[in-house]
Amino acid sequence: MNAQEPNRQGETGQALEDLSDVGALGASEGQALGWGAGPTLAAIDVPGNYDIAGSFWISGGGWGGSYTYSVGDAVIWRQGSATITADASRLTFQGGTWISQFTLQAGTYLLKWDLPFSPSAASAYAVVRLKDITNNQYIGPKVKIGDGRSSNHLMCVVAPTAATTYNWEVIAKNGTIALPTATTLRSLQAAFIEEV
């Protein structure tokens, strides 16, 4: 298995290059040893480091009434009720009382959201999808929230090459889907995790 002989104590020192059935590897920073395409060991890339570009969560109420979503609407939240932490050089939110859009600078981001709705019945649901407003295109999977079949946890990776604005859009629905009350909307939260 290797070209190394044991020393007087019977110990065999092994370095990667001493293994006779492993070719020479040039692993560099950001790589690890793993299986290559064939039955051999290879240097492979490992995921990069990540940093929180921003986050928010609904921490208070402050409104009354209700709002019923229609197909084509963006999912909204009340900015005054949110605790927002954001590195403005990477993540910004639109202004106003009710907001739905956020802008990311160039980079690769993992978006993790929890979106609560108030369905009118057990069979009611909304289908949402992340929309790149800047380039007028949808990104990632459609997610069905409600109808007793899906959770409201959404994750998506985006990699804008320039400043890009996004929202979560209602692309289909069944029954009445409303904005939750000031109390239940507190489960709305988001994290913007950037690969650095």
Mean pLDDT score, 156-183: 91
**Alpha carbon separation from 8 to 1, 11, 15, 112 (Å, rounded):** 20, 7, 18, 57
Question: Residue 55 corresponds to which amino acid?
Answer: S
**Alpha carbon separation from 26 to 3, 20, 33, 46, 49 (Å, rounded):** 20, 16, 10, 15, 21
Statement: residue 1 has pLDDT above 50: no
Statement: residue 123 has pLDDT above 70: yes
Lowest mean pLDDT among 23-32, 60-69, 70-79, 125-134: 23-32
CA distance 184 to 194: 29
Question: Residue 95 corresponds to which amino acid?
Answer: G
Instruction: Give the model confidence (pLDDT) of 6-28 as tens digits.
Output: 777 777 766 655 555 555 556 66
Statement: residue 157 has pLDDT above 50: yes
Instruction: Give the model confidence (pLDDT) of 80-115 as tens digits.
Output: 888 899 999 999 999 888 889 999 999 999 999 988
3-class SS of residue 65: coil
What are residue 139's phi and psi, to 5 degrees?
A: -130, 140
Domains of the chain: 1-46 (no CATH), 50-195 (2.60.120.40)
Tokens at residue 94, please?
């639109």
